Structures are given as structure tokens and as C-alpha cells.
């Protein structure tokens, strides 16, 4: 196609002729038929880069997009790193995901690739906040972890964050070593997509309770909490993962006057009540602030 750079065309041909599923190929054909050359160029002009924090990008078809294939390559590279770093061990990883569109299905792809590589997977049965993933890595004596999230980026985005055995994001020299292994995966034919369900174990409530109990130990003053138990609090997760743990946490810790922004308690990767799901932006807090004014609350959390 004369409207496309030759390198972009070459990558498109690789996807159309390679071991990609028919849905991906049909989506590419549709973009070609609609002459969406700018979109095709952006989707294929480079590979989505695995950086120090992992991967993040717009969801869709293409080598520069978040999809099962780019996440598959990332997971295969991370698997190769773990097997080289911990030889002759039963390697274990924990996986969590957020509320974003496709996070659950992409998380299962990640779990399948790890398990296909002989790695034991502890897989959260539903969405969970990122700090709990870090806790699970340490609590379950894992050598690594992954959380699928794009933080507060727009709804079109998703991401893959890689964690080490300490529960923290990868740091030098391990971050570069993982990047090197990801870059060595030359094609999706090297990715082991056929999962081993015997190596995938669902986790959830048990870890939730242990995590919340550990957090309670960090309380500066339980007596002060008791004195402030009637503090008027308004909470909103803005459709995200915090809605899973924050309300029960506040109740467990002794706060008895918590009002939820019910419209934003609904899990939804489209974030329908906000333009941009970043609680640092005033517009994203509008509903919570309105509720706080309505009930004369003293604290807003989001």
C-alpha cells in the first residue's frame, strides 16, 4: 500500500501471515479496507517497549499496542529471566489485575504463559489493588509478580507491571535483565500460550484478610481512631480496584461513619462518570466533593 511506510507494511504482513488469531487478522483487514493508514502506522511502526516498569499502551491490534501477543511476549521474556535467575527451583509468581477493559482476559493470558513455562501461578480471582499484589508476592514466597493496570491513564490504555521477589517493581540490574530477555523473544512462535491449569491456583479472600490485618498493625494510634470513629468520611474508588478493599478496611479499623459514592462504586473500565480517572484531578473528585458538601463530611478519600 503506497500510503504506508515499507517497514510498517512488513510488520502488517507478518501479522496477516503469521500465527495470529483470525480476529486480529480481521481487525487489520478492516483498518486497511477503511483506509485508516494513520492508525495502522501508529499500531505497527514499532514494538511496544518493555521499560523499567513494564509495558503500557493503548489497547488494540498491532505490535505497538496492548494485546494478548505483546503481553505474551513480555511474559515469555519474564519467564525466561526467572528460570535463569532461579535454576532448579519451583518458581512462583502472583498475578493481579485492575478494572480496565480486557484486564481479566489479558491476566489469564499472562497466567497461561507463566504456567506453560512450568511456573506456579497464584492468580487473584477478581480485581485487586496494586499494593495487595506486592503483599501477595512476599506472603506467598514468590520470585515475581505481575499486575495488569494503567494506573490513572485514559480508558483506552492498559499495562503490565513486573515485580521482583521483594514485592517491589523491578530495579537495577534485574530490570535491564528482564528487558534483555523480552527483546530476545523473536516472534510469538516462541511464546508458550497453552497454559497448565494444574499450576494455576486462585487466591482471594484469604490474602485480603491477611493483608488488611497487616495494615492494621501499622496504625499509628488505635486509640486515636477510636476517638475519631464518627469522623464523617466520603469514599469513591472512581470505578476502580479500591472499592474492593477500602470500605471493609475502614470498617475493620473502626471508622463507623463512611458514605460511599454509590455511582462510582460500580466497577467499569470505561470510567463513565469521569473524563479522566485520576483522583489528583479536581474534576474526577466532583461527585465525591458534592456528596461531602451534602452531608457535611470532614474527609474525602478517592
From the list 7, 30, 103, 151, the catalytic residue is 151
Q: Do 160 and 69 lie in a common domain? A: yes
Residues with Cβ < 8 Å from 289, sequence gap 6 or more? 300
Domain of 119, in residue numbers: 48-203
CATH number at residue 139: 3.40.120.10
- pLDDT of amino acid 141: 98
- pLDDT of amino acid 1: 60
Q: Do 30 and 56 lie in a common domain? A: no
What are the φ/ψ torsions at residue 120 (nearest 5 degrees)?
-70, 130
Q: Do 275 and 259 lie in a common domain? A: yes
| Annotated catalytic residue 151 | yes
Q: Is residue 211 part of a domain?
A: no
Q: How far is CA 237 from CA 146, 152, 209, 213, in A?
A: 21, 12, 19, 21
Cβ count near 4 (within 10 Å) = 18
Q: Do 5 and 75 lie in a common domain? A: no
Residues pairing with 148 in the sheet: 97, 160
Q: Is residue 208 part of a domain?
A: no
- pLDDT of amino acid 58: 97
CATH number at residue 294: 3.40.120
Q: Which residues does the chain have with pLDDT short of 70? A: 1-2
The Cα 202–Cα 255 span in angstroms is: 31
What predicted TM-score, i.e. pTM, was given to this entire model?
Answer: 0.93
Q: How many domains does the chain have?
A: 3
Domain end position, chosen among 203, 229, 245: 203
Amino acid at each position: 500500500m503506497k500510503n504506508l511506510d515499507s517497514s510498517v507494511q512488513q510488520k502488517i504482513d507478518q501479522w496477516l501471515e503469521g500465527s495470529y488469531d483470525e480476529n486480529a487478522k480481521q481487525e487489520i483487514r478492516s483498518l486497511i479496507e477503511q483506509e485508516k493508514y494513520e492508525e495502522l502506522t501508529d499500531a505497527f511502526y514499532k514494538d511496544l517497549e518493555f521499560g523499567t516498569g513494564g509495558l503500557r499502551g493503548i489497547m488494540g491490534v498491532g505490535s505497538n499496542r496492548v494485546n494478548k501477543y505483546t503481553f505474551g511476549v513480555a511474559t515469555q521474556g519474564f519467564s525466561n529471566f526467572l528460570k535463569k535467575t532461579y535454576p532448579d527451583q519451583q518458581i512462583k509468581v502472583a498475578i493481579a489485575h485492575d478494572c480496565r477493559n480486557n484486564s481479566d482476559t489479558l491476566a489469564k493470558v499472562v497466567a497461561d504463559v507463566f504456567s506453560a513455562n512450568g511456573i506456579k501461578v497464584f492468580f487473584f480471582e477478581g480485581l485487586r489493588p496494586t499494593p495487595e499484589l506486592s503483599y501477595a508476592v512476599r506472603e506467598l514466597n514468590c520470585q515475581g509478580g505481575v499486575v495488569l493496570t494503567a494506573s490513572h491513564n485514559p480508558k483506552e490504555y492498559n499495562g503490565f507491571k513486573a515485580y521482583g521477589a521483594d514485592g517491589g517493581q523491578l530495579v537495577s540490574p534485574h530490570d535491564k535483565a528482564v528487558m534483555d530477555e523480552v527483546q530476545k523473544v523473536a516472534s510469538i512462535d516462541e511464546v508458550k500460550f497453552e497454559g497448565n491449569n494444574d499450576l494455576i491456583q486462585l487466591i482471594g479472600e484469604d490474602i485480603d484478610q491477611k493483608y488488611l490485618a497487616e495494615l492494621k498493625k501499622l496504625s499509628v494510634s488505635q486509640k486515636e481512631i477510636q476517638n475519631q470513629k464518627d469522623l464523617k468520611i466520603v469514599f469513591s474508588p472512581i470505578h476502580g480496584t479500591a472499592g474492593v478493599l477500602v470500605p471493609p478496611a475502614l470498617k475493620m479499623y473502626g471508622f463507623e461513619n463512611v458514605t460511599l459514592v454509590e455511582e462510582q462504586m460500580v466497577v467499569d473500565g470505561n470510567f463513565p462518570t469521569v473524563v479522566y480517572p485520576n483522583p489528583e484531578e479536581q474534576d474526577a473528585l466532583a461527585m465525591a466533593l458534592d456528596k461531602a458538601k451534602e452531608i457535611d463530611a470532614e474527609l474525602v478519600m478517592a
